[in-house]
């Protein structure tokens, strides 16, 4: 059974028309019914039910509970959440129970939302398909032989499977937008720093962002409004927009300047996908947008830059998983080195090891200048090119991914092919701008995602334009 | 050991790295308490210090102002732009697998420290100083198959001050260490408690017969001025002996045995890590405006050299001055008295509070000094006004230091106030002249030496309370002089 919009659910709960315990029950029942899709690693059933009862009691007592009263949600399993384990879908964190909660979860709970389950992901968010999960691969809700995209594949599948009204994901190189595109829902990647990373297992700190995965732009906006803003536990956070992100009347596309990214529309793009994207662009034009093509010449370098910067930070961020304080520890180690090597050898999967090796290499003395420093130089160039484009355009658009969801196993043995899946999403992360993927029709019943990119801190305007576009697609 | 004539052929070159623990309430990147002195192991640790997943370091707001003060204390200014980097290595007392430090853009670049070595002014350049988080503490119990890790110290803010290789003797090395200690303490950068390891010195020593530097060794973790001096002496002798034997010096890290007074090999350069430094993406760079820097400068406390000038101007000798400087509270009190009441009072108070320092003394406990500046000035004024003899003043001072009561009341209760009542003293004088006719006669005959004796008798009879100047005046008067 499909869910009402988040605002409607919360209004009904606050009015006493619907009980939070029933919503949690509905969510848990659906999770059980649809367990074959492997979207969920574990539920947080006990705590969810307890919180639901408390919320119902509070409402019965006439208290106001908040803007997300009783709304169940699912968190990607790299969010530290009370009431169960936090594994990041990795063997090395199996059994780890968080002693503190992420800021995003705390803020959702403060408005009455209830976390019911933890969603599957590529271990440590390394991947584009959930096939790198140390637990299992999540299946695409539209075709069980296909991947849901990644790394937030479990979160996106959860939303499409109606397991909960919304899910949280993380997007380091496209990990919210890609699965949204592959499963046919809305994935929002905020401006870097808009949502606190505190309490979220780090992947690449300079590009990691946290965002909502929902069935509508409206729902994405309300979740963003709750979780965004400065946090003293994360010094890279920024203030939220003074007007917030909930847009009552999204306005019109009339006169909006839309740049179609030339580099995303050419070689490598499935012609059928291109057709859907062109249709979406035509619809925007028909609604009054001023559309023209824009070129960002350094874009073809973005993937190479990303796969230097990201593994460099990954190799550093994964250093703390050393088997000494928590998580998996090799038993009967001969000495300290054996304990380190054994714990990491068995605790990390192939992709984590691959990224640790690449990252260690590019940061090594003698290679730093050739790789890491050069990559950062190109990154600055990209930032400048995006800034120049945004002097002329309100938003930039293109496909979210070059193709529809691929078959499970199709890219599993070819990491480079897998990395190419991110080719249209990584630049946004390197530059730190906000972007959204919204559904733009299907090809052979498989969803296509349309990507809209805004300038730094223009999240409010971007969401309004996305809502307008969503309405006409 | 090589003879002095052989040794004199070598030039000794010394550079010192000093880790100063900053006086912050909490750690450099977490809210955990920074005072680990008496705490049980692993009780001052939060999710950041423990390196939990998702934990992000947040720079302590107190750290940069303290580093800025350190910059001024080192004769320079803080940099307008500095940033933090990650330095990677695996060790159980380093929970995140990297240390957060400042690699190529530290908060302090340049500077100079001057100090006196055997009467000569020595200048030592400062290369740089950077902020970094300390690691935890590992202990390896003998005969056990485990090690213990205490993370209380993990994340403690340190300022690592790197000197130029400008020192050429053990005495200079010691002088530098001591001056650095004083400056950090006076500037309020650090508690600078050596006993608790608030300052640790690493000395780099090389010797050479030519214009080129020799191969250096680094002796780490020295925590007293004496060990800095002794370690340099030992390394210089050891290196010269090795070279005279035709051996080479190995570039290595050495430890210091404070009982044997010897350095010992710890690890050689081949073990050197590739730390894979890169800018920490979790911590925004530190950017200071000219206005902020100017504010830090205005808020600077007086430094040792400021006090040296004051103490010199009131007429104290160099050795006395250094003894006073060695106890910051004393120097600061004297400085305040100087501003409050001028040089003569300052000088008197300086002598009162002076505690002669032994060659090795450091880290005087300064708690319990409760006396107010006003009461010290008042006591000094009583001496100036002849209300108290200097001996009596010391007796009052002893009480004053304990109680900070009104010095006049203390003097009264101890019956120490000088008698300046002419009538009362005149009576005593008459008595003394009667009792000592010969001395009286001598004085009359111009033997003024005897007047001192007579005055002494007056003092004795008055139990020390008579004003000696007045007594002398009255003796002369009664003898008709």
Q: State the Cα–Cα distance between residues A109 and A67, nearest whole angstrom.
A: 10
User: What's the average model confidence in pLDDT over B200-216?
Assistant: 96
Strands A290-294 and A257-261: parallel
Helix axes A459-472, A271-286, angle to 10 degrees: 100
Helix (H) or strand (E) holding A57: helix A45-60
Q: Which helix (DSSP H) or strand (DSSP E) does residue B93 occupy?
A: none
Position A108 scores a pLDDT of: 98
pLDDT at B44: 97
For residue B180, the model assigns a pLDDT of: 97
Among candidate residues A190, A207, A191, A208, the one with its CA nearest the CA of residue A199: A208
Whole-number percent of chain B with pLDDT over 70: 95
- When pLDDT is cut at 50, 70 and 90, the band that residue A70 belongs to is very high
Q: The tokens of B144 are what?
A: 């056990």
Q: What is the mean pLDDT of residues B432-439?
A: 87
Going along chain B from its start, the domains and CATH numbers come out as 4-287 (no CATH), 300-413 (no CATH), 422-478 (1.10.10.410)
CB contact under 8 A, B98 and A197: no
Say how far apart CA B346 and CA B182 lie, in whole Å.
Answer: 21
Of B347, B409, B383, which Cα lies nearest the Cα of B467? B383
3-class secondary structure, B133: strand
What is the Cα–Cα distance from A31 to A196, expressed in whole angstroms?
28
Most B CBs within 10 Å, among A170, A312, A316, A327, to test the B interface: A316
Cα nearest neighbour of B89 on chain A: A319
Q: Is A216 a catalytic residue?
A: no
Are the beta carbons of A72 and A98 closer than 8 angstroms? Answer: no
Q: Token pair of B118, please?
A: 């055997």
Confidence of residue B252 (pLDDT cuts 50, 70, 90): very high
pLDDT value of residue A249: 78
Nearest CA in chain A to B59: A235
* Residue A298 designated active-site: no
The whole-angstrom distance between A147's CA and the closest CA on chain B is: 27
Instruction: Provide the strand spans (E) within B191-279.
Output: 199-208, 217-222, 252-257, 262-268, 278-279
Judging by DSSP bridges, how do beta strands B217-222 and B252-257 pair with one another? parallel
Contacts of A389 (CB under 8 A, 6+ apart): A259, A294, A296, A396
Q: Examine the pLDDT at B408 and tell me if it is beyond 90.
A: no
If one compares A402 and B463, the residue with the highest pLDDT of the two is A402
Rounded distance, CA B81 to CA A256, Å? 39
Residue A190, Cα to own-chain centre: how many angstroms?
A: 10
pLDDT at position B197, please? 86
Q: Is A327 left (phi over 0), alpha (psi -120 to 50) or beta?
A: left
pLDDT at B359 over 80: no
Mean pLDDT of A250-254: 87
Maximum Cα–Cα distance across chain A: 70
How far apart are alpha carbons B442 and B457 in whole angstroms? 15
Q: Look at strands A114-119 and A72-76 and give their pairing.
A: parallel
Measured CA to CA, the distance from residue B193 to residue B196 in angstroms comes to: 6
Residue A88 with chain B: CB contacts under 8 Å: 53
A360/B53 Cβ within 8 A? no
Q: Which of A36, A95, A40 is nearest to A73 (CA)?
A: A40
Distance, in Å, from the CA atom of A454 to the CA atom of A335, rounded to the nearest integer, reads 52
State the DSSP H helix or E strand holding residue B320, giving kind and residue range, or none if neither: helix B318-325
Position B463 pLDDT exceeds 50: yes
Q: Look at residue B76 and tell me whether its pLDDT is greater than 90.
A: yes
Q: What is the mean pLDDT of residues A206-213?
A: 98
- Computed on alpha carbons and rounded to an integer, the radius of gyration of chain B in Å comes to 30
- What's B147-191 look like in SS3? CEEEHHHCCCEEEEEEECCCECCHHHHHHHHHHHHHHHHHCCCCC
- Burial call A46-67: b when 16+ CB within 10 Å, e when fewer: ebbbebbeebbebbeeeeebbb
Confidence of residue B364 (pLDDT cuts 50, 70, 90): very low
| Token representation of residue B318 | 């160099």
pLDDT of residue B363: 43
Q: Rounded CA gap, A211 and A220, in Å?
A: 8
Inter-chain CB proximity B51 and A99 less than 8 Å: no
Cβ neighbours of A93 in B, within 8 Å: 53
Asked whether the beta carbons of residue B98 and residue A316 sit closer than 8 angstroms, the reply is yes
- Calculate the average pLDDT of chain A: 97
pLDDT of residue A134: 97
Strands of A10-93, DSSP E: 40-43, 72-76
- In terms of CA atoms, which chain B residue is nearest residue A235? B58
Structural domain boundaries in chain A: 6-227
Active-site residue A292, yes or no?
no
Structure tokens at B379: 């006591």
The chain-wide mean pLDDT, for chain B, equals 90
Q: Is residue B52's pLDDT more than 60?
A: yes
**Of B419, B423, B348, nearest to B383 (Cα)?**
B348
Residues of B with CB under 8 A from a CB of A: 47, 50-59, 86, 88, 90, 92, 95-98, 147, 274, 276-278, 281-284
The verdict on A361 touching B (C-beta cutoff 8 Å) is no
Average pLDDT over residues A441-464: 97
Contact call for B58 and A202, based on CB within 8 A:
no
Question: Residue A365: its chain B contacts at CB < 8 A?
Answer: 274, 276
Neighbouring-strand partners of residue B256? B263
Inter-chain contact A233–B58, Cβ cutoff 8 Å? Answer: yes
For residue A26, what are the CA distances in angstroms to A20, A32, A34, A71?
10, 10, 12, 11
Determine the Cα–Cα distance for residues A267 and A123; give it in Å rounded to an integer: 31
- Measured between CA atoms, the residue of chain B closest to residue A313 is B281
Q: Specify the CATH number for A6-227; select among 3.80.30.10, 3.90.1300.10, 1.10.10.60, 3.40.640.10.
A: 3.90.1300.10
Contacts made by residues A285-289, CB under 8 angstroms, sequence distance 24+: A285/A258, A286/A472, A287/A252, A287/A253, A287/A254, A287/A468, A287/A472, A288/A252, A288/A253, A288/A254, A288/A255, A288/A256, A289/A253, A289/A254, A289/A255, A289/A256, A289/A257, A289/A258
Across A98-126, average pLDDT: 98
The CA angle A219-A223-A226, to the nearest 5 degrees, is: 145
Structure tokens at B398: 């002893």
- The residue among B425 and B340 whose pLDDT is bigger is B340
Least confident of A399-403, B311-315, B391-395: B391-395
Specify which residues A168 forms β-bridges with: A75, A212
Of residues A440, A439, A436, the one with CA closest to residue A463:
A436
Q: Are B276 and A365 inside 8 Å of each other by CB?
A: yes
Which pLDDT does position B356 carry in this prediction? 66
Query: To which residue do tokens 């400042």 refer?
Result: B102
Which of left, alpha, beta for A286 (phi over 0: left; psi -120 to 50: alpha)? Answer: alpha
Q: Contact at 8 Å (CB) between A186 and A292? A: no
B96: tokens are: 């995140």
Report, as an integer, the average pLDDT of A268-291. 97
- CA A291 remoteness from chain centre: 28
The answer to whether B88 contacts A316, with C-beta atoms less than 8 Å apart, is yes
**How many angstroms away from the CA of A63 is the closest CA of chain B?**
33
**How is residue A204 written in tokens?**
């690449």
Per-residue pLDDT tens digits for B267-281: 776 566 899 999 999
pLDDT reading at B358 higher than 70: no
Separation between Cα atoms, residue A302 and residue A89, nearest integer Å: 27
């Amino acid at each position: 059974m499909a869910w009402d919009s988040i605002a409607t659910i919360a209004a009904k709960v606050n009015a006493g028309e619907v009980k939070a315990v029933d919503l949690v029950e509905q969510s848990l029942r659906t999770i059980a019914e649809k367990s074959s899709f492997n979207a969920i690693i574990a539920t947080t059933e006990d705590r969810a039910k307890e919180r639901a009862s408390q919320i119902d009691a509070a409402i019965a007592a006439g208290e106001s509970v908040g803007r997300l009263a009783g709304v169940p949600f699912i968190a990607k399993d790299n969010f530290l959440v009370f009431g169960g384990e936090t594994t990041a879908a990795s063997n090395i964190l199996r059994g780890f129970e968080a002693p503190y909660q992420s800021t995003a979860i705390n803020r959702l709970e403060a408005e009455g939302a209830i976390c019911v389950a933890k969603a599957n992901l590529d271990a440590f968010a390394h991947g584009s398909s959930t096939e790198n999960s140390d637990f299992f691969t999540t299946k695409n809700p539209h075709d069980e032989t296909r991947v849901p995209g990644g790394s937030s594949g479990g979160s996106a599948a959860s939303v499409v499977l109606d397991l909960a009204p919304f899910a949280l994901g993380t997007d380091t190189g496209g990990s919210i937008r890609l699965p949204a595109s592959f499963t046919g829902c809305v994935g929002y990647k905020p401006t870097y720093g808009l949502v606190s990373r505190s309490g979220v297992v780090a992947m690449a700190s300079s590009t990691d962002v946290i965002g909502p995965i929902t069935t509508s732009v409206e729902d994405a906006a309300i979740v963003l409004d709750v979780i965004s803003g400065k946090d003293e536990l994360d010094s890279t956070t920024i203030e939220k927009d003074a007007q917030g992100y909930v847009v009552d009347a999204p306005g019109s596309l009339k006169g909006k300047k839309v740049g179609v990214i030339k580099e995303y529309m050419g070689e490598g793009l499935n012609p059928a996908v291109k057709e859907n994207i062109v249709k979406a662009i035509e619809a925007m034009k028909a609604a009054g947008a001023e559309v023209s093509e824009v070129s960002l010449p350094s874009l073809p370098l973005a993937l190479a830059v990303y796969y230097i910067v990201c593994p460099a930070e990954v190799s550093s961020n994964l250093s703390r998983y050393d088997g000494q304080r928590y998580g998996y520890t090799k038993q009967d180690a001969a000495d300290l080195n054996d304990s380190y090597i054994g714990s990491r050898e068995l605790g990390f999967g192939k992709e984590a090891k691959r990224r640790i090796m690449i990252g260690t290499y590019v940061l090594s003395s003698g290679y730093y200048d050739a790789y890491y420093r050069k990559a950062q130089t190109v990154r600055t160039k990209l930032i400048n090119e995006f800034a120049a484009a945004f002097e002329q355009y309100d938003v930039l658009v293109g496909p979210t991914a070059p193709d529809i969801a691929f078959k499970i196993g199709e890219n599993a043995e070819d990491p480079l092919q897998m990395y190419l899946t991110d080719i249209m999403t990584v630049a946004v992360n390197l530059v730190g701008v906000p972007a959204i993927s919204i559904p733009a029709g299907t090809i052979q019943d498989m969803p296509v995602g349309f990507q809209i990119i805004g300038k730094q801190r223009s999240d409010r305007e971007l969401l309004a334009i996305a809502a307008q576009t969503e309405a006409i697609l | 050991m090589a003879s002095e004539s052989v040794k004199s052929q070598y030039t000794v070159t010394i550079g010192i790295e000093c880790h100063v623990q900053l006086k912050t309430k909490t750690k450099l990147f977490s809210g955990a308490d920074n005072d680990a002195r008496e705490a049980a192991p692993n009780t001052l640790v939060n999710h950041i210090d423990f390196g939990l997943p998702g934990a992000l370091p947040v720079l302590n707001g107190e750290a940069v102002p303290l580093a800025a003060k350190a910059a001024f204390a080192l004769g320079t200014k803080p940099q307008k732009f500095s940033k933090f980097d990650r330095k990677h290595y695996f060790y159980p007392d380093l929970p995140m697998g990297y240390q957060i430090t400042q690699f190529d853009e530290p908060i302090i670049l340049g500077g100079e420290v001057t100090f006196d070595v055997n009467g000569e002014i020595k200048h030592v350049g400062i290369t740089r100083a950077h902020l970094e988080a300390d690691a935890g503490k590992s202990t390896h119990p003998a005969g056990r198959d485990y090690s213990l890790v205490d993370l209380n110290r993990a994340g403690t803010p340190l300022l690592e001050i790197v000197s130029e290789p400008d020192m050429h003797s053990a005495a200079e090395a010691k002088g530098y260490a001591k001056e650095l200690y004083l400056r950090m303490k006076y500037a309020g950068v650090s508690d600078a408690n050596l006993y608790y390891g608030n300052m640790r010195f690493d000395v780099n020593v090389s010797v050479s017969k030519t214009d080129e530097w020799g191969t250096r060794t680094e002796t780490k973790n020295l925590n007293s001025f004496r060990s800095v001096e002794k370690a340099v002496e030992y390394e210089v002798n050891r290196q010269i002996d090795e070279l005279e034997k035709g051996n080479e010096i190995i570039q290595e890290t050495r430890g210091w045995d404070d009982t044997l007074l010897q350095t010992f090999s710890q690890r050689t350069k081949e073990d050197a890590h590739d730390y894979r430094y890169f800018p920490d993406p979790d911590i925004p760079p530190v950017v200071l405006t000219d206005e902020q820097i100017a504010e830090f400068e205005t808020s600077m406390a007086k430094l040792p050299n400021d006090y040296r000038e004051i103490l010199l101007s009131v007429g104290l000798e160099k050795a006395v001055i250094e003894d006073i400087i060695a106890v910051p509270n004393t120097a600061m009190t004297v400085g305040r008295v100087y501003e409050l009441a001028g040089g003569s009072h300052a000088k008197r108070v300086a002598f009162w509070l002076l505690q002669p320092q032994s060659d090795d003394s450091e880290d005087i406990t300064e708690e319990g000094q409760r006396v107010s500046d006003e009461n010290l000035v008042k006591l000094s004024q009583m001496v100036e006004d002849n209300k108290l003899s200097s001996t009596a003043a010391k007796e009052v001072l002893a009480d004053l230091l304990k109680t900070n009561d009104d010095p006049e009341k203390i003097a009264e209760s101890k019956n120490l106030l000088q008698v300046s009542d002419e009538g009362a003293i005149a009576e005593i004088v008459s008595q003394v002249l009667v009792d000592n006719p010969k001395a009286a006669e001598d004085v009359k005959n111009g033997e003024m030496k005897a007047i001192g004796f007579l005055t002494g008798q007056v003092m004795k009879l008055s139990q020390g309370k008579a004003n000696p100047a007045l007594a002398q005046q009255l003796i002369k008067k009664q003898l008709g002089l």
